[in-house]
Amino acid sequence: MTFKTYEINVDLVHDTSTTYSNHFSQNDRNSAKLLVTITNKGAELDLSQAKSVRMSFKKPDGTRVFQNDCQPINAMKGKYQIVLKTQTLTSVGNVIAQIHIEEEDRIIDTQKFFFVVNDSLASDEAIESTNEFTIIQKAIEAGKKLEGVDINGIIAAGELAKGALPKSGGTMTGALNVNAPLFLKSKDGVKQYSFETDANGKLWFSDKNAPRDIFTVESDGTFRVAGLTNLLKNTGGTMTGDLQINSANKGFQVGNGTAQLIQSVDTLGRYYWYSSIGKTPLRYDIPNELLAFLSASSFSNTLTMAGANARLVIDEGGQSVTFDQPVAQTSARGLLYRENGVTLGGIGRIRSTTDAYNYIGWGANPWDMSSSLVVSDKALKYKGKDVAMRDKDDRATIPLTADAELITSYGVIADRRGNTVTLRAPIRRKVGSTNGHVFTLPPGMRPTMMLTQVVHASDGTPALMTIPSDSGQVLLQTITPAIMGKDYHIVLTYVAD
């Protein structure tokens, strides 16, 4: 079969470049074909999901023609073909064309393009632009005898037409079978609608002036509303009134095809969520005004209690507030106190990869040791300094070595309170002793550094007293004269760790 064929590229956005070289004739019948490639900004366009691809034409005399028979050549590459109707070619001059693409609830128009219709010497000059048949063809219907035309068949068809309904209307007693689009016009002839079907059994009712579909019936029986309506569509919509569900455990289900959540009210008047994994993350007891989070294990965003009456109460049946902290990075967890959005203090625990302690502090970083009181199993500090810990408070009675002896019955006593130790030692070096070591301080009673002190006997004889911080071995040594047999009443106060 021979066609007069032109290939045209049409874009959704960019102007289509066409020339006056695309020419058809008035007398081209079922032989004028366009091969169109539809692009988007010059890029290949996949139209495999398009519901329909149609074409409209504005003829030089201002009349319009709509054709719904664009046939795909390769829809994935946007390639289609269309054979132009006789009515499209009735008017001589430039014909403006445009392609309309329908996808779900959207209609996309391409940029316009044009081609030229030349007059035909074989055609009657008075071709009517509103009919697809030329005057020559009408002459056949009128009974003008032309060679090769079955006039008897036309007459027989006329006899059959006698039983047709008049234009004014009537009653049909049989079925009306329509194998082509059915067009309807408003009384004023302005609005035009159509009922159409495709090869797959899809039916659509369209507004041809817009053009757009009003509703469709899919081949599987699905009814889809595409135009403006007061009904909710499966693509969404807005309700202006209440939707009431007054049946227990019936409600709304939302989801993404895999995960679903149901919202409903049970027989006890409790509103709840129920998930597709069999969990009830939330429930609100309407009669008792009680909100419960049942299976949700965490909040991933900020929970704000606003207003003068907002408060968090954990009653006698409640459990502790738990703060989990990571072990691979430094983190502070606890309570922060703010004024006008500024952090002024806090209570909590800070943990690094090497240490951890609890804090009570102030300022923007209440966990900072320089502005907080911190405590751990190893430290008790305030503003970075050690706080005296009374757990080491004690009194030690200290025995003497063989080179020393008591001069009273009181004995040698080390008394600790906080970080302060008071030492009392009424002693003498024995006559004939050669070792200055008189006694040893026990751990916890030893000074933070080595101490030396000149002490005097009752008769004024000086002696050098030395207290090491490590061994705690107290020495009483001669300066001059010899101190053996001299009485020393020693009282000394110092700081210990």
pLDDT at site 137:
45
The residues near 482 (Cβ < 8 Å, ≥ 6 apart) are: none
Q: Which two tokens stand for residue 470?
A: 């490590």
Strands 32-40 and 4-11: parallel
Q: Is this structure's pTM higher than 0.85?
A: no
pLDDT at site 237:
79
pLDDT at site 395:
97
Q: What's at 43, amino acid-wise? A: A
Residue 473's H or E segment, with its range, is strand 473-478
Asked whether 116 and 22 are in contact (CB, 8 A), the reply is: yes
3-state secondary structure of 152: helix
Q: Which DSSP symbol is given to 91?
A: S
pLDDT in tens, 443-468: 999 999 999 999 999 999 999 999 99
Res. 153: pLDDT tops 70? no
pLDDT in tens, 310-367: 877 888 887 788 888 888 888 899 999 999 999 999 999 999 888 899 999 999 999 9
Res. 213: pLDDT tops 90? no
pLDDT at site 304:
81
pLDDT at site 339:
94
Bridge partners of 192, per DSSP, are 185
Cα 368 to chain centroid, rounded: 35
Of residues 32 and 204, the one with the higher pLDDT is 32
Among 441, 401, 461, 459, which residue's Cα sits nearest to residue 451?
441
Res. 157: pLDDT tops 80? no
Domain boundaries of the chain, sorted by first residue: 4-129, 134-160, 179-233, 259-293, 331-387, 392-495
The residues near 104 (Cβ < 8 Å, ≥ 6 apart) are: 51, 235
The residues near 443 (Cβ < 8 Å, ≥ 6 apart) are: 472
Of residues 256 and 149, the one with the higher pLDDT is 256
- Whole-angstrom CA distances from 322 to 113, 356, 374, 432 are 71, 17, 20, 70
Res. 132: pLDDT tops 60? no
pLDDT in tens, 248-269: 999 989 999 899 999 999 999 9
Give the count of beta carbons closer than 10 Å to the beta carbon of residue 483. 23
pLDDT in tens, 86-122: 999 999 999 999 999 999 889 999 999 999 999 988 7
Yes or no: domain 4-129 corresponds to CATH 2.60.40.3350: yes
Alpha-carbon span 42 to 14, nearest angstrom:
8
| Burial (0-12, 13-18, 19+ Cβ within 10 Å), 205 | middle
Identical fold, 4-129 and 392-495:
yes
Res. 388: pLDDT tops 70? no
Asked whether 283 and 264 are in contact (CB, 8 A), the reply is: no
pLDDT in tens, 266-301: 999 999 999 999 999 889 999 999 888 887 666 677
Q: What's at 71, amino acid-wise? A: Q
Of residues 80 and 216, the one with the higher pLDDT is 80
pLDDT in tens, 466-478: 999 999 999 999 9
pLDDT at site 454:
98
Whether the link from the prior residue into 60 is cis, omega within 30° of 0, is no
CATH of span 392-495? 2.60.40.2460
Res. 188: pLDDT tops 80? yes
Bridge partners of 285, per DSSP, are 270, 290
Sign of CA dihedral 18, 23, 29, 31: negative
Q: Which two tokens stand for residue 285?
A: 């007891």
pLDDT at site 135:
40
pLDDT in tens, 402-431: 999 999 999 999 999 989 999 999 999 999
Region 11-29 average pLDDT: 85
pLDDT at site 174:
74
Where does 66-209 have alpha helices with state H?
A: 135-141, 151-161
pLDDT at site 230:
74
